[in-house]
Each structure stands twice: as C-alpha cells, then as structure tokens.
Chains A and B, each alone.
Chain A
Amino acid sequence: MNVTSSTVDSIIVIEASGSIDSKTAPEFERTAMAAVQGQKEVIIDLTNVEFLSSAGLRVLLMIYRQVKAKSGKVVLVGTSEEIQDIMANTGFLSFFSTADTMQEGIDILKAA
C-alpha cells in the first residue's frame, strides 16, 4: 500500500494504492488524518486501491468525522464496484459523494 497527500485548487487530495488491510491501514490513517486536519474539502482517490477491508472502512469513517466536524465534504474518486458494494452493504456509501474521475470530484466540491 502507498498513500500520498497533495493539494489541488485548495482541495486536499489523498491518494492510496494497493491493499488497505489491518497491516497497512495504520499508515493510511496516519497520512490521511494529518492531511485532513482542519480541512473542509477532501478527495480520497481510491482508483488504484484493489482491496479495502473493514480496517480501511474504519479509516474512511475517521476521515469523514474529522471533515464533517468542520462542516466539510469528502468525495471518493475511482472507487471500484466491489468496494462500492461493501460500502453500500455497511451503510457507508450514502455519507460520501462519489465520482469516477478526479475532475468530476473537484467539480462536486467546487459546486457545493
């Protein structure tokens, strides 16, 4: 698993790749939580994430809470059909906006 954070048009973009399981989730959590501190516009790019377990869902939940506390918004970009199914199954999906591409994600945040 790799995770990076960057800023695009004042939006915080967290990009992960590989597998987010109980082994790798702590690193995802550290990088993501540090990056979203005090931020209101956040994109999590999951395009290259091939596997996400409940440990990864837990981190998404923490990010959501942090951003929501600032009345902000989190958009998930490129979430695979399999991961979207799991998120729907656990009631997660309805709390996030989803977009197929980064540009679409940026548009959603800028329109808000």
Chain B
Amino acid sequence: MERKTFPGTLDSLEGIRQEVKEESQRVGLSKKATYNLLLAIDEIATNIIMHGYEENDKSGVIDLQIDHRDNQIEVTLEDDAPPFDPLQHTLPTEEFFNKPLEERPIGGMGIHLTINAVDKFRYEFANQRNRNIFVVKVGDA
C-alpha cells in the first residue's frame, strides 16, 4: 500500500486504526489477531503523539505504511519526534501485575500490551525519523 500521512494528533488514532483494519481484513487476518494489531498500533501511535510531539511542544506527522508479503502483514509508523525507543522504556515487572488494582501505578501498560499483541515488534531510528514496525503472521489462527 502507498504511504498515508496523518497529523500527529489524537484525532488521527481512529483513522489509523481504520486503515489497518481494512487491510488486515482484506488479507484474511483473524478477528483476534486484527484486534491485537490495532491495539499495538494504537498504543505506540498514542505514545508518539502524546510523548513524542505534545510533551516536546512539537507538531508533526505520523506516516503509515502497510505491507503484505510472505504470509505476514507488516505495519510501519514513522514520525519526526525526538528519538524514542519504546523497548528501552521500563517494562512493568511481574510485581506490577501481581499488585492489587488499588495499589498499581496508573499507566505503564501500553508497551506491555504492544509487545504481547504482535508476533514481532521492532524500533529503528533511520534518516532522522523514529520507525516502529509491527509484524503479524497471516494464516495460522
């Protein structure tokens, strides 16, 4: 698919999910795998918008690219916010998830959800842009 560009604002989340959903359904990704892919992308896109752009008083875009080949769907988000590797972010520990909900710190779940929701997730910083890549296998349920 050709690259689509969205403004780096929360209003874009729905449009990004819609694009990915349509393409996932077109290539026959299961309902559950599609949902999980949408979740992963939504979490990372939210981080880009809120932490990459808004917290740094910057505005910018998110470029969305979806490729389907070798029985897998690969979604790439690229942005111009300051370099940020989600994988270097501290992941919640087991201790966090064992805590009763009353005592848990609010937040910090997004990256955990992302990593668990797709087959592969990777981050690159290339040509002065953040690149977040999500890979999901198509075909096996």
- Give the docked Cα–Cα distance between A68 and B100 (Å): 11
- Give the docked Cα–Cα distance between A51 and B49 (Å): 19
- Chain B residues within an 8 Å CB radius of A23: 10-11, 13-14
- Give the docked Cα–Cα distance between A92 and B100 (Å): 9
Q: By DSSP majority rule, is chain B's interface helix, strand, loop, or mixed?
A: helix
Stretch from B29-37, B66-74, B75-83, B121-129 forming part of the interface with A: B29-37
Q: Do B46 and A21 touch across chains, with their CB atoms under 8 A apart?
A: yes
Q: Do A85 and B32 touch across chains, with their CB atoms under 8 A apart?
A: yes
Stretch from A5-13, A36-44, A56-64, A99-107 forming part of the interface with B: A56-64
Decide if B136 is an interface residue (CB 8 Å cutoff).
no
Q: Do A54 and B32 touch across chains, with their CB atoms under 8 A apart?
A: no
- Chain A residues within an 8 Å CB radius of B50: 22
Q: A57-B109, A81-B32, A90-B112 are in contact. Are A65 and B10 (CB under 8 A)?
A: no
Q: Do B10 and A22 touch across chains, with their CB atoms under 8 A apart?
A: yes
How many A residues have CB within 8 A of the partner chain?
Answer: 24
Convert A45-89 into 0s and 1s, putting 1 for each residue whose CB lies closer than 8 angstroms to a CB of B.
Answer: 000000101110110011011001000000000000110011001
Residue of chain B at shortest CB distance from A68: B102
Number of A-B contacts (CB under 8 A): 68
Residue of chain A at shortest CB distance from B106: A58
The one of A21, A82, A90 in contact with B42, judged by C-beta atoms closer than 8 angstroms, is: A21
- Give the docked Cα–Cα distance between A33 and B13 (Å): 24
Convert B40-65 into 0s and 1s, putting 1 for each residue whose CB lies closer than 8 angstroms to a CB of A.
Answer: 00110010011000000000000000
Q: Do B109 and A21 touch across chains, with their CB atoms under 8 A apart?
A: no
B→A interface (CB under 8 Å):
10-11, 13-14, 17, 31-32, 35-36, 38-39, 42-43, 46, 49-50, 97-98, 100-102, 104, 106-107, 109-110, 112-113, 116
Q: What are 15 pairs between A and B in contact, CB < 8 Å?
A: A22-B42, A23-B13, A53-B39, A53-B42, A53-B43, A53-B110, A54-B43, A54-B107, A54-B109, A54-B110, A54-B113, A58-B109, A61-B104, A89-B113, A91-B97
